[in-house]
Chains A and B, each alone.
Chain A
């Protein structure tokens, strides 16, 4: 009889959210989509939205089945300003984790963060 996994309260070690793998996913997508791109205020809203969706789909397909995902993408223009981003999470540190990556070129900077929360 196939064991149903509906009562799993802890992910199996192999199915845990692995920050290194997710960071690589993010890195690939961002580098591919943003290399050589200039900041354009008309296009950036659509670009950031589609980047977030792309990253979410890629991470979903990487096999973290029991995880709810939150992907946040921030794109800003490089104008010599100071920016600081921080985040804090209230979750189960044993099962949940996050991964982030930053990309910069001369005209823009982009930060992408993926938070994975286990669904018991």
Chain B
């Protein structure tokens, strides 16, 4: 029965922070790995990173709503802090934050997965 097949497609189980970490790292490496900070390109980079992460995450776990944020900052010695506070169901929802850097910039990607029902 084709209906049953679709139900079992998302056999990855529930959202896992460790797996999401790997997926996000790979996406970031693919977009900005080896590049130097460039004011003209940064718009394109952040868009690509969030879009890629989102598509990969949805492919893995279809049953969640996702919020992906990405911050790219030039390395000038200044500090950057992010904090998250969430009001949700801790048994079903999860998040994952990835910090990535190279010689000229920092990249922080946060993924929030929210269950729908």
| A contacts, CB < 8 Å to B | 39, 41, 44-45, 48-49, 51-53, 55-56, 60, 68-92, 96, 98, 113, 115, 117, 119-120
A120 close to B117 (CB less than 8 A): yes
List the B residue with the shortest CB-CB distance to A59.
B87
Residue positions of B touching A, CB distance < 8 A: 37, 39, 42-43, 45-47, 50-51, 53-54, 57-58, 65-89, 93, 95, 110, 112, 114, 116-117
Q: Is the CB of B88 within 8 A of A84?
A: no
Q: Report yes or no: A68 in contact with B71, Cβ–Cβ below 8 A.
A: no
Q: A39 to B79, alpha carbons, bound, how many Å?
A: 9
Chain A: minimal CB distance from B79 (Å) = 5
Q: What's the Cα separation between A72 and B68 when bound, in Å?
A: 11
Contact yes or no, A83 B71, CB < 8 A? yes
A88 B54 Cβ-Cβ under 8 A:
yes
Chain B residues with Cβ under 8 A from A74's Cβ? 71, 80-83
User: A48 vs B116: C-alpha distance in the bound complex, in angstroms?
Assistant: 28
Residues of B within 8 A of A92 (CB): 65
Query: Which 6 pairs of residues, A with B, have the shortest CB-CB distance?
Result: A79-B78, A52-B85, A77-B78, A48-B83, A87-B69, A88-B50
Question: Given A82-B42, A90-B58, A120-B117, A73–B83 Cβ distance below 8 Å?
Answer: yes
- Determine if B46 and A84 form an interchain contact, defined as CB atoms under 8 angstroms apart: yes
In-complex Cβ contact of A88 among B68, B71, B88, B95 (8 A)? B68
- Cβ contacts under 8 Å, A39 to chain B: 79
Check A70–B112 contact: CB distance below 8 A: yes
On chain B, the residues within 8 Å of A75 by CB distance are 80-83
User: Which residues of A are found within 8 Å of B42, using beta-carbon distances?
Assistant: 82, 84
Q: Is B77's CB under 8 angstroms from A69's CB?
A: no
* A9 CB → nearest B CB, Å: 10
B8 to chain A, nearest CB (A): 21
Beta-carbon contact of B37 and A49 below 8 Å: no
- Residue of A with least CB distance to B108: A74
Whether A82 contacts B70 in the complex (CB less than 8 A), given A75-B81, A120-B116, comes out as no
How many Å from the CB of B86 to the closest CB on chain A? 5
